[in-house]
Structure 1
């Protein structure tokens, strides 16, 4: 629900009918102060109140929730309100302009124009891989709009598993090999796979090349299923970075839907929900997958099948977000393009606190109070070639009752995006050291590099073609 647009629409209709806040509040059974919060976009009305408001204002509920502003003036008010609530504007610590009917339209025009220019300048100064950041943001919004659930991919996974007589439990190597054979591919394990690839599919000779390197950070079963998924989904050479990212998302989704089949997983999760013992670890162990795969798969199924809204994070020990997803209202930090990846997460969140927990065997659970609500999160850390990461899954406080670990006494408070929460050092510490230190930051080359060019970003095509030439002659 777009509470800003809804509030402006209610105020417009109320004034059109010549009603005061008190009069409308009395007609719908609420006090004027509560109605004022709704009109100012600071509170979301219950559906029952929404229907009553629509009836009293002489419109349908759908009209009340419409996205098109009634007129140009209200469109400007909505845009200014959104701009002033953005994390980018709040980080400037500037006062907000009170938007009222007495504010001249030309002033509104000027303020909105200034905000647009500030955003444009911020975008110009964004990090070098701006295209990727924008594409990531657009794709994440699409995933959130459908609760990260893709019914067509679930159906494709179901049909594929039927062809190889899958029954239940973990997907064995034998069944995966049968699936490759069913799709017409032979498997070839080599020790000279191009360094920039996880697998190489030779479509001319129907071969899939995989590495025999046991030190690889990627599960070989997952890599093979992702290669098969790209073929099943009939992916073409991507023409934009958004196409490339969308292909990765759908490929990973289909591979996960094969490793953790929908029907079996939902049955397993519902049983755990009845016992109020949902656990990502149990989902991982039951299907013999990695914790990260289980956590991702939980976000696919939790809202659609269990009615649980959730969020997921993969955070480097430095505090940088590598991956994130949310549909539960948690406020991740964003840059001017709306990108989450690469942003520092609050040090008081579970995904940061878990790094300081001595017990690395058990899951770490914590309640965190934030400006957008209280959340329960479970997290654990894993170490890979790129360092130590935390993987966390969280839900709003009201949904914590369904999870194992809900009885935790760990509690934290985050005031981000307020810079005084954790972005700035404590005053006493700053007073003692400010101006007396010069740290040398650890900047990686990827922070300055442009996005890799070519048909497949990040892949050395010459190396791949030479590899295929070499092996096709054998």
Structure 2
């Protein structure tokens, strides 16, 4: 069986290696296997893929097993370098440079070969970083959001993995304690450690060599976040993640580890049973899910979107919006019209002033959730929202459903109602004719600079992470 990592060039170089070890020339070997020396030369240089019958004849003539010719490892370090150089020069990146190919013949010193291979590797790395433009990241994020919409924001394989893991520690119901999280982490071969000097570019750091997961200090406000951080750290191992090769891979992995943590903190079977009971009583509420499992309001609202369609048969939308109307993140499978840019991205767009996500700020003195019906060009939606405060200022978290589904929710009797005509600019984006006539030419606002516009997309395998800082941290904390 051919090793999946074996290339045609590797097979060719292994043939050449064993031919030279046997003291045979191309003519000698060609004569024994019944082919032309020129054909063997093409095979040895990776320009032609040999038939299996020819490979069997070559192996027999060289006195080796067929498996020896089909192994993935180059026969020597020099051969490995030559294969790496040849592979790089055949790639599309090198073709764009318009440079001649360097032949890795016997006269090329090994030191020069090492330098060329190293330069190609660095060129590929820099090209990969340069390609991770903000536009590419937004497109990747948009594709990921669309893929999740097609699956109703529900990933059954991750749900199953979380349920299986919870079974190993005897979880039954209720909020997941810190102790249970520690048991889960221990079951996976890790231990939790709190560090006040975590690298500033990281949320957690995992020492794979010693099975340690470093978290922020235990005294950090918001213990719910520490449970989630620990679960996200081990999720990479549970889900079999490897180092992301593209920004799209990185975004997908971030989504999956967050999803896994939510599945463990609000397990499918327990959360679904809780929500189905509330639906039968026509008393669904995000705040109840939040309190039942001891999580944040935003986490509960987002988890609701995972289970609403797949388990409750309800289409939904979710949004986190800043006080200024900036949409930080959102999800929908109920046809609500989020504003988008030319790439289809919703992040950074401004939502209508009449949406619940913004009108809630006029009612943020409420102890509980604010409810509102909004008539839009795509239909009428009932929404529940609550405000909060984060590092980026005030924000709202909104969960909404089509009018017909409002009957299942607490707060459906609200008399708050608004009308949105967006994307019609006359809805809320254009000032009135009277104000325009009065103030045009007489106003000179000093605009805030949104620094993210000027910032480059973070580079690195894990975007934005300072490897030097991480490695120094691990060295300082490694057990002696």
Same fold (TM over 0.5): yes
> What corresponds to 2:361 in structure 1?
355
Q: 2:234 aligns with which of 218, 228, 252?
A: 228
Q: For each residue in 1:330-384, what CA deviation from the matched residue of structure 2 results, as whole angstroms up to 9, or x when unmatched?
A: 0000000000000000010000000111523221000000000000000000111
Note if 1:148 corresponds to 2:191: no
Tell me if structure 1 keeps the 8 A contact 2:318–2:398.
Answer: yes
Q: 1:142 offset after TM fit, Å?
A: 0.2
- Kindly tell me: are residues 466 and 218 of structure 1, through their superposed partners in 2, closer, same or farther at Cα, counting changes over 3 Å? farther
Tell me if structure 2 keeps the 8 A contact 1:128–1:448.
Answer: no
Distance 1:284 1:236 in 2: 32
SS at match of 1:421: coil
Note if 1:408 corresponds to 2:408: no
Distance 2:223 2:436 in 1: 40
Q: For each residue in 1:215-247, what CA deviation from the matched residue of structure 2 results, as whole angstroms up to 9, or x when unmatched?
A: 579711111111011121121111111101100
Note if 1:172 corresponds to 2:186: no
Tell me if structure 1 keeps the 8 A contact 2:224–2:296.
Answer: no
SS at match of 2:426: helix
1:73-152 equivalences under 5 Å are 129-152=134-157
Tell me if structure 2 keeps the 8 A contact 1:360–1:381.
Answer: no
TM-score, structure 1 as length reference: 0.72
Distance 1:251 1:467 in 2: 23
Q: For each residue in 1:127-173, what CA deviation from the matched residue of structure 2 results, as whole angstroms up to 9, or x when unmatched?
A: 96111110111000000001001110110001000000101100111
Q: For each residue in 1:383-405, what CA deviation from the matched residue of structure 2 results, as whole angstroms up to 9, or x when unmatched?
A: 11221110000000000000000
Distance 1:434 1:356 in 2: 28
Distance 1:330 1:410 in 2: 19
Q: 1:444 offset after TM fit, Å?
A: 2.8
Distance 1:360 1:459 in 2: 40
Q: For each residue in 1:25-77, what CA deviation from the matched residue of structure 2 results, as whole angstroms up to 9, or x when unmatched?
A: xxxxxxxxxxxxxxxxxxxxxxxxxxxxxxxxxxxxxxxxxxxxxxxxxxxxx
Distance 2:237 2:441 in 1: 58
- Kindly tell me: are residues 327 and 358 of structure 1, through their superposed partners in 2, closer, same or farther at Cα, counting changes over 3 Å? closer
1:19-418 equivalences under 5 Å are 129-212=134-217, 214-215=220-221, 219-418=225-424
CA RMSD of aligned residues (A): 1.4
Tell me if structure 1 keeps the 8 A contact 2:364–2:386.
Answer: no
Runs of at least 5 residues in structure 1 that lack an aligned partner in the other structure: 1-126
Q: For each residue in 1:275-316, what CA deviation from the matched residue of structure 2 results, as whole angstroms up to 9, or x when unmatched?
A: 100000000000011111100110000001111000000001
Tell me if structure 1 keeps the 8 A contact 2:317–2:334.
Answer: yes
- Kindly tell me: are residues 358 and 305 of structure 1, through their superposed partners in 2, closer, same or farther at Cα, counting changes over 3 Å? closer
> What corresponds to 1:461 in structure 2?
467
Tell me if structure 1 keeps the 8 A contact 2:364–2:387.
Answer: no
Distance 2:151 2:364 in 1: 38
TM-score, structure 2 as length reference: 0.71
> What corresponds to 2:30 in structure 1?
none
Q: 1:473 offset after TM fit, Å?
A: 5.5
Tell me if structure 2 keeps the 8 A contact 1:310–1:393.
Answer: yes
Deviating beyond 3 angstroms after TM superposition, the runs of 4 or more aligned structure 1 residues are 215-218
Distance 1:148 1:380 in 2: 22
Distance 1:446 1:461 in 2: 22
SS at match of 1:430: helix
Q: What is the number of equivalent residue pairs in this alignment?
A: 348
SS at match of 2:388: strand
Q: For each residue in 1:436-467, what CA deviation from the matched residue of structure 2 results, as whole angstroms up to 9, or x when unmatched?
A: 11111111321211211111112222211111
Distance 2:321 2:214 in 1: 31
Tell me if structure 2 keeps the 8 A contact 1:350–1:392.
Answer: yes
> What corresponds to 2:19 in structure 1?
none
SS at match of 2:427: helix
Distance 1:377 1:313 in 2: 10
Distance 2:359 2:343 in 1: 28
Tell me if structure 1 keeps the 8 A contact 2:353–2:359.
Answer: yes
Distance 2:197 2:224 in 1: 16
Q: 1:208 offset after TM fit, Å?
A: 0.2
> What corresponds to 2:87 in structure 1?
none
Tell me if structure 1 keeps the 8 A contact 2:319–2:357.
Answer: yes
Tell me if structure 1 keeps the 8 A contact 2:357–2:385.
Answer: yes
Tell me if structure 1 keeps the 8 A contact 2:374–2:419.
Answer: yes
Give 1 or 2 for the bigger CA radius of gyration. Answer: 2
Distance 2:187 2:479 in 1: 25
